[in-house]
Amino acid sequence: MTADAHQAADAHQAAAGDGGGDGRRVLVLNGPNLGRLGKREPSVYGTATHADLVELCQAAGKELGLDVEVRQTEYEGELVTWVHEACDQAAPVVLNAGALTHYSYALMDAVKMRTAPLIEVHISNIAAREGFRHESVITPAASGIIAGFGFQSYVLALHAIASLLDRHCA
C-alpha cells in the first residue's frame, strides 16, 4: 500500500468518528484574494463569487457523501494553522493557496505533514499565465494537482478525494 493509500485509510477512519455527515470531512482551504472572486480579474477567474464557490463545493460534497467545509483567509499563518488542523484530524484537504502557492515555504512544510490526501487546485491554468505562476512549492508535497477548469477544478478535486477514500477504505 502506498503512503497516500495509508493516509487515505487513516483519514477515513479518523473522520468516521466525527459525527458530521457520514463522517467523511473534507476541508476546502482558499488563500489570499480568493474571497474577491467575482471582482478579481473576471477575465481570468470569471464572475462567480466565493459564496458561489462555497455553494458548489458543498453541493458536490453532498453528492459524494462528503462533509465539506470551505474556508478562506488573506493570511499565510492562518492557512498554515488550518493545514495543521487537517493533519491533526487526518482530514483530506482541497487547497488553493493563491499566490502563496509560489513562495510559501511555511505552507509547503505544513503540507508535508499531511496525514490524508491533499489536492492542490487552481481556477486558472497556472502554466499558461505569468512565469512566476509556473512554479508551485506546494505541488511536490500534494497528492495531486488540478488546474485550469475554473470552479470545476474544486469539484474534480472532491471527486478525487472521494475516490481515494472509497478505494482505500472499502
* 149: exposed, middle or buried (Cβ count in 10 Å: 0-12, 13-18, 19+): middle
The residues carrying an active-site annotation are: 45, 122
Strand partners, 71: 29
- The closest alpha carbon to 116, from 60, 170, 162, belongs to 162
Distance CA 138, CA 112 (A): 9
Distance CA 169, CA 34 (A): 33
The distance of Cα 134 from the centroid of its chain, to the nearest Å, equals 18
Enclosing H/E stretch for 30: strand 25-30
Per the CB < 8 A criterion, the answer to whether 138 and 95 are in contact is yes
